[in-house]
């Protein structure tokens, strides 16, 4: 459910509004008749995949570098 509250009400009821957002509601904060912000829950969807390219980083990418390569980076 979406509810619209004025800025002054949001200031005094912020904790309660956040509890409602955590429960799945959406809150629009308005200044006069103009909506200026929206409170929504942040959903942690876990690790994100690289969706902009068709490439997967190989597991070997995370292996330690050989000593000669490490030395080249430290110069």
- Residue-wise pLDDT tens digits, 44-70: 777 766 667 777 788 998 999 899 998
Check residue 43 and give its pLDDT: 79
Q: Please report the pLDDT score of residue 53 as a whole number.
A: 72
Residues 6+ apart with CB under 8 A from 37: 28, 29
User: Which letter, b or e, does each residue of 33-49 get, where b requires 16 or more Cβ atoms within 10 Å of its Cβ?
Assistant: eeeeeebeeeeeeeeee
What structural domains does the chain harbor?
Answer: 2-73 (3.40.1620.10)
Percentage of the residues of the chain whose pLDDT score is greater than 70: 95
Residue with tokens 């690289």: 50
């Amino acid at each position: 459910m979406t509810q619209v509250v004025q800025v002054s009400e949001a200031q005094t009821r912020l904790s309660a509004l956040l509890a409602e957002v955590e429960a799945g509601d959406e809150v629009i904060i308005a200044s006069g008749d103009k909506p200026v912000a929206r409170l929504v829950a942040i959903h942690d969807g876990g690790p994100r995949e690289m969706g902009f390219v068709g490439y997967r980083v190989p597991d070997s990418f995370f292996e330690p570098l050989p000593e000669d390569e490490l030395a080249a980076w430290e110069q």
